[in-house]
Amino acid sequence: MPENAVRWERLTAPELRALAERGALVVLPVASLEQHGPHLPVWTDSMIGHACCLMAARKAGAEQPVVVLPPMWTGMSEHHLPFGGTITLDYAAFRAVLACVCRSLKAQGFQRLFLVNSHGGNIDPLAVAARELCVEFAMPVVTSTVFHVAGEKLGAVLDTQPGVMHACEAETSFWLHIDPAQVRQEEIAGALSAPATSVSGPFHRFWSFAERAPNTGVMGDPRAATAEKGAWLLEVVSDALAEAMRNQALWQAPQQVWAPR
């Protein structure tokens, strides 16, 4: 399936109305605009999420109509503010934007929304918002994170880490595969952070990334990144997302628990 056929922004209004009539699944990549160390652009999470969703939609689109919205380019990123380059929402604004997307889709006849996250700071807010939006709009709203859907498979190709971290071997590999000109390769050698000063364990509080990844804001080791790893990661993640798109159990209408009995 050609990429233009699954990209919302490249379709006309009549084409999108026809997709709604066919029961198309709408996919919203939910990402961020934030620092990614001295060697990667602040667009990193948005680029990765969008690329994974587009490839997944092309894979699943042979069996059902799927359309991918442009990425939601700002999320919950206040922990990255100390390094600069970051635009963030608070939770109220974050949830309000998602609700407006749901309301807009419902008004046009779409009935299903997949929120595909690619930023760690969005995980908890999205889990809460998706549950609320399901009931509020009486439609299945499903969320997951790109690097969680593939599970332990990611570690098979990574040399320095078991999964995705931040501006790391994995995220740098994505850029090297998709657009290597965006990587400041001369900065990679000095991108490693100092040891964290934050506390890990079964506790929750706010830690800035200046405490979690001092000096550079990088969590992980980008020196092991390659374009070949990026291609493999994109393939594995998009396979897992396509499988979720096909999973009918995910897309059943939610029970209306607030309706009068």
pLDDT in tens, 57-105: 999 999 999 999 999 999 999 999 999 999 999 999 999 999 999 999 9
Q: How confident is the model at residue 205 (pLDDT cuts 50, 70, 90)?
A: very high
Please tell me the distance from the alpha carbon of residue 63 to that of residue 78, in angstroms, as a whole number.
40
Q: Is 197:251 a contact under the CB 8 Å cutoff?
A: no
Residue range 197-205: mean pLDDT, rounded: 91
Neighbours of 49 (CB within 10 A): 29
- Find where tokens 């740098």 sit: 172
Question: What would the DSSP string read from start to end of 193-227?
Answer: PPPP-S--SS------HHHHSTTT--BS-GGG--H
Contacts (Cβ under 8 Å, ≥6 apart) of 58: 1, 2, 3, 5, 6
pTM assigned to the model: 0.96
Flag whether pLDDT at 184 surpasses 90: yes
- Residue among 192, 198, 221, 209 at smallest CA distance from 84: 209
Residue range 158-185: mean pLDDT, rounded: 96
- Quick one: angle between helices 123-137 and 91-107, nearest 10? 40
Question: Which pLDDT value is given to residue 261?
Answer: 79
Helix (H) or strand (E) holding 34: none
Flag whether pLDDT at 210 surpasses 90: yes
* 3 state SS of 61: coil
Structure tokens at 208: 């800035």
Helix (H) or strand (E) holding 24: none
Please tell me the distance from the alpha carbon of residue 46 to that of residue 17, in angstroms, as a whole number.
26
pLDDT tens digits, residue range 99-151? 999 999 999 999 999 999 999 999 999 999 999 999 999 999 999 999 999 98
Please tell me the distance from the alpha carbon of residue 201 to that of residue 113, in angstroms, as a whole number.
33
pLDDT tens digits, residue range 8-52? 999 999 999 999 999 999 999 999 999 999 999 999 999 999 999
Question: Which pLDDT value is given to residue 200?
Answer: 87
Please tell me the distance from the alpha carbon of residue 251 to that of residue 261, in angstroms, as a whole number.
24
Please tell me the distance from the alpha carbon of residue 33 to that of residue 45, in angstroms, as a whole number.
7
The CATH class, in words, for 3-246 is: alpha beta
